Amino acid sequence: MRQVKHLLEGKGGQVFSVEPDQPVLQAIQAMADHHVGALLVMNGEELAGIVSERDYARKVILLGRSSAETPVWQIMSAPVETVSPDNTVDECMLLCTQRRIRHLPVVAQGRVVGVISIGDLVKAVIEEQAEALAHMQRYIAG
């Protein structure tokens, strides 16, 4: 069973973040620049929350707020569900499904070491199923 650490080995541990007091507009721009759907909200080295495109749509646009004047801390989701590098892909898929979330910060020894998305998890499941199918085909062809 693949673990989160295996996903991070493949994609890297790059983390895109924003500070709580930054305007939402800067967060949205950073998401666009990095082609991601969410950013971690970091207070120095401490994980304070997560802000996503969904937060923006529901807590800024629908409420008629100004993205240039609203600080990230007012719309971020907190506390944040996190996983460890030792969690399995299946455990993460279950967590995402149960909590209806799309991004999971990976924390090791109290420090953020990466982020995985539901897309990363789905890709891992597809790859694992393809490997199992190939193994079965080789066994049958035998």
Number of domains in the chain: 1
Range of the domain at 64: 4-141
In order, the DSSP letters of 26-79 are HHHHHHHHHT-SEEEEEETTEEEEEEEHHHHIIIIITTT--TTTSBGGGT-B-S
Tens digits of per-residue pLDDT, 19-39?
999 999 999 999 999 999 999
For residue 117, the one-letter residue type is: S
Single-letter residue type at 17: S
- Model confidence, pTM: 0.89
Look at residue 5 in the predicted model and tell me its pLDDT: 95
CATH assignment at residue 80: 3.10.580.10
